[in-house]
Amino acid sequence: MDLAHHHFHAASVPEGTTLVLDRPDDWHLHLRDGEQLAAVLPHTAAQFGRAIVMPNLKPPVTSTALAAAYRRRILEARPEGTGFEPLMTLYLTDNTPAAEIREAKASGFVHAVKLYPAGATTNSDSGVTDLRHAYKALEAMQETGMVLAIHGEVTDRDIDVFDREKAFIEQKLIPLRRDFPALRVVFEHITTQDAADYVREAEGDIAATLTAHHLLYNRNALFQGGIRPHYYCLPVLKREPHRQALIAAATSGNPRFFLGTDSAPHARGDKESDCGCAGCYTALHALELYATAFEAAGALDRLEGFASHFGADFYRLPRNTGRVRLRKEAWTLPSDLPYGERRIVPLGAGERLGWRFLGPA
Ligand code: NCD
Ligand code: ZN
């Protein structure tokens, strides 16, 4: 599954072409902690100015005090010479007090609160079991303008895993937004045409993040010649028409759609397992992956808004000032990378990638 040729027969841009963008931000990232944090942070810090750091640690980041401590650990692990800024999030539970939301907002460093339906994904056991339990917190979020970042999948075992995002829109998201019409919402890592249509057409303050892997692959990637655990993430890859709808959204120039890698590192053995973890590791080569997807769509001119402007605008933060450079130049991805004592496999390991990130412009 050569990244340069898997879906895309027409590379539109000649070798050696350079692409300069305002420095982008990653609006959905998993950094983990300890030696894993130290292993992955340099990749993100090289490419992105800021990132929304997801709170699904064990135990989860449920308070402003925990977020402050996690933020300090990230800053300590930050490579010398990068100005990378972690944008912290809180993990919403059935018991998050409204006062905690107000404190988070007042801190200046908590930029979103993440809703994980309990049991939806990695480390989501403490997530919300019923949205009604979180209504006081949601009210405080609506009042203060705190962003709600949503993992939009229902958790019903009776609902097919490929239908859980669509069901979430109908069963949870529409009623929630009816009750909180001024709540600012990011529908995270959308994977379906249904979600893209909803976000494009809905009233009010809503946006969506899009991962590189959902732009590049459909669900066939999970079964290419055998089962491929490194292509397994949540929400799971969908059919090709959904991928095409996501490409259309990402390249539309609509500021409701912006970059969020959902880079979610898991050690090799935890993915290559009889019950492998969900998550694709893309921090190493995030911009190159997005450039590959945008080039294939003939829309490289739309990458900068998507990667560098729309997310900051939605989060009401200033756009970054520096610029970064990529070059159209094939290189081969490493088969794996150090991850503390263990190893991690980047998405597309061992394959050729058509773009290379060069650094500051
Ligand atoms: C994420 C993780 O590993 O933390 N995994 C994933 O497949 N995306 C959790 C999440 O964002 O759902
Ligand atoms: Zn995630």
Q: Is residue 166 part of a domain?
A: yes
Q: Is residue 12 part of a domain?
A: no
What is residue 1's predicted lDDT score, i.e. its pLDDT?
53
Q: Domain span at residue 276?
A: 18-360
What is residue 119's predicted lDDT score, i.e. its pLDDT?
79
8: confidence class by pLDDT, cuts 50, 70, 90: very low
End-to-end CA distance of the chain: 31
Cα(195) to ligand 2 centroid in Å equals 16
What is residue 126's predicted lDDT score, i.e. its pLDDT?
85
Cα(13) to ligand 2 centroid in Å equals 31
For residue 266, which atom of ligand 1 is closest to its CA?
3
Largest CA-CA distance found in the chain, in angstroms, rounded: 55
Nearest to 111 by CA among 136, 134, 85, 129: 85
* Residue 119: CATH number of its domain: 3.20.20.140
pLDDT, average across residues 316-321? 98
Residue 109 has pLDDT above 80, yes or no: yes
Given the structure tokens 């880079």, which residue do they identify?
Answer: 263
Pocket of ligand 1 (CB under 6 A): 30, 56, 121-122, 151, 233-234, 262, 264, 278-279
What is residue 11's predicted lDDT score, i.e. its pLDDT?
65
> Which residues are part of the catalytic machinery?
262
How many domains is the chain built from?
A: 1
Q: Is residue 269 part of a domain?
A: yes
Residue 120 has pLDDT above 90, yes or no: no
Q: Is residue 22 part of a domain?
A: yes
pLDDT digits (tens, 9 = 90+) for 228-279: 999 999 999 999 999 999 999 999 999 999 999 999 999 999 999 999 999 9
Q: Is residue 30 part of a domain?
A: yes
Q: Which residues contact 169 (CB under 8 A, 6 or more apart)?
A: 152, 194, 195, 198
Q: Is residue 10 part of a domain?
A: no
Percent of the chain at pLDDT exceeding 90: 94
7: confidence class by pLDDT, cuts 50, 70, 90: very low
Please choose from 27, 28, 53, 56 the residue to mutate so as to test ligand 1's pocket, defined by most ligand atoms within 8 A of CB: 56
Cα(124) to ligand 1 centroid in Å equals 9
What is residue 62's predicted lDDT score, i.e. its pLDDT?
97
pLDDT, average across residues 145-162? 96
Residue 9 has pLDDT above 90, yes or no: no
Q: Is residue 6 part of a domain?
A: no
Q: Is residue 8 part of a domain?
A: no
